[in-house]
A = this chain, B = another copy of it.
């Protein structure tokens, strides 16, 4: 692996990450393909938008169809027909979302399969073995996502478990001679002291990249930004930095301001399937009757396949008729919107004009730029 930072503007960084499979321009947004498919799009459509990396979920893929099967069919890239990079989430966040169905011990996590109710167990080592069978480019360690809200004592205990698992993961992964990359995950909830302690611990384990977990769990925007702000100047300079599971376009802009390089979120894809569209003028809900007769594209400033070829009136009609094509066309638009946002961010950092970009970004939304 190589990761190079080519430009910086305050904390914001423009970089290039090389995996065994492809070259990724950062800051980057990764579309989510939970079950080995970014819902509604072919790999060709994803490629045509410009994406260089997507995310898969080790937890979901282990339940269906199983990592052994994916491995026997040539690994996740070949299985899903995607020839650029893939990052897999370890399953920590997904098992955490199961709530009542899980039991966490030092050894790992016991949980019931949401498909057939059978009892399953995953240790940090298991998660790495699963991801090695999927043979993706970037592997995430198993962590415990701390519940929200949680007091300092509970958060600290949960963080210690994450740290012990991170150490075991690193030891297990070292034995494998592989070009796959392993990223560690920082926890510590919404307690600054713990977050810094966790960052320090994870940094010392010398992973290929540093992820910030435990966000998007119900916290406020301010709480989220406070975590990023508190970590910004302590993040290792030579490693890619990834905030997991966020977020809105505003969240991405703020996180880049605090030095983050990588993102994933279901928002552009899931919202598309609910008729919720991101535009440069804000949110547009295509199911609203106001769009029924409109000959305008979703976003006049967008040149995606959907905006170049279809009116709001047509897309409203497809939604009303529950046509599959509505999901596909709105997903193409939303993902293009996210792709273009990251593209504009990258180009502004290159020109040393990121802060100007941030101001115009908030101006267009009639919002005041938050202080860095």
Mark A residues whose CB is within 8 Å of B: 35-37, 39-44, 64-65, 69, 72-74, 79-81, 292-293, 295, 305, 309-311, 313-314, 316-318, 320-321, 323-325, 327-329
In the complex, the answer to whether A37 meets B69 with C-beta atoms within 8 Å is no
> Who on chain B is nearest to A325 by CB?
B37
In the complex, the answer to whether B40 meets A324 with C-beta atoms within 8 Å is yes
In the complex, the answer to whether A324 meets B328 with C-beta atoms within 8 Å is yes
In the complex, the answer to whether B293 meets A64 with C-beta atoms within 8 Å is no
In the complex, the answer to whether A314 meets B39 with C-beta atoms within 8 Å is no
> Who on chain B is nearest to A318 by CB?
B37
For A314, give its contact among B42, B73, B293 (CB under 8 Å): B73
In the complex, the answer to whether A309 meets B81 with C-beta atoms within 8 Å is yes
In the complex, the answer to whether B324 meets A65 with C-beta atoms within 8 Å is no
Distance in angstroms from A330 CB to nearest chain B CB is 12
CA distance A80 to B324 in the complex (A): 14
In the complex, the answer to whether A39 meets B313 with C-beta atoms within 8 Å is no
In the complex, the answer to whether A305 meets B42 with C-beta atoms within 8 Å is yes
> Given contacts A44-B305, A81-B310, A324-B324, are A35 and B317 in contact (CB under 8 A)?
yes
Measured between beta carbons, the chain B residues less than 8 angstroms from A321 are: 35, 37, 64
In the complex, the answer to whether B69 meets A311 with C-beta atoms within 8 Å is no
Q: What 6 A-B pairs are tightest by C-beta distance, nearest first? A: A81-B309, A65-B317, A37-B325, A40-B324, A35-B321, A37-B323
Measured between beta carbons, the chain B residues less than 8 angstroms from A295 are: 72-74
Q: Report how many copies the assembly holds.
A: 2
Measured between beta carbons, the chain B residues less than 8 angstroms from A40 are: 324-325, 328
CA distance A65 to B293 in the complex (A): 10
> Given contacts A35-B323, A292-B69, are A42 and B329 in contact (CB under 8 A)?
yes
> Who on chain B is nearest to A331 by CB?
B324
Distance in angstroms from A135 CB to nearest chain B CB is 15
Measured between beta carbons, the chain B residues less than 8 angstroms from A73 are: 293, 295, 311, 313-314
Distance in angstroms from A287 CB to nearest chain B CB is 13
Measured between beta carbons, the chain B residues less than 8 angstroms from A314 are: 36, 73, 79-81
Distance in angstroms from A38 CB to nearest chain B CB is 8
Measured between beta carbons, the chain B residues less than 8 angstroms from A37 are: 318, 321, 323, 325
For A36, give its contact among B64, B317, B324, B327 (CB under 8 Å): B317
CA distance A313 to B69 in the complex (A): 9
9 A-B pairs with CB atoms under 8 Å apart are A35-B317, A35-B323, A42-B329, A72-B295, A74-B295, A81-B314, A324-B324, A324-B327, A324-B328
Distance in angstroms from A128 CB to nearest chain B CB is 23
CA distance A36 to B325 in the complex (A): 10
In the complex, the answer to whether A313 meets B42 with C-beta atoms within 8 Å is no
Measured between beta carbons, the chain B residues less than 8 angstroms from A42 are: 305, 325, 328-329
For A293, give its contact among B43, B69, B310, B328 (CB under 8 Å): B69
CA distance A168 to B264 in the complex (A): 61
Distance in angstroms from A187 CB to nearest chain B CB is 30
CA distance A324 to B328 in the complex (A): 9
Measured between beta carbons, the chain B residues less than 8 angstroms from A320 are: 64-65
In the complex, the answer to whether A39 meets B325 with C-beta atoms within 8 Å is yes
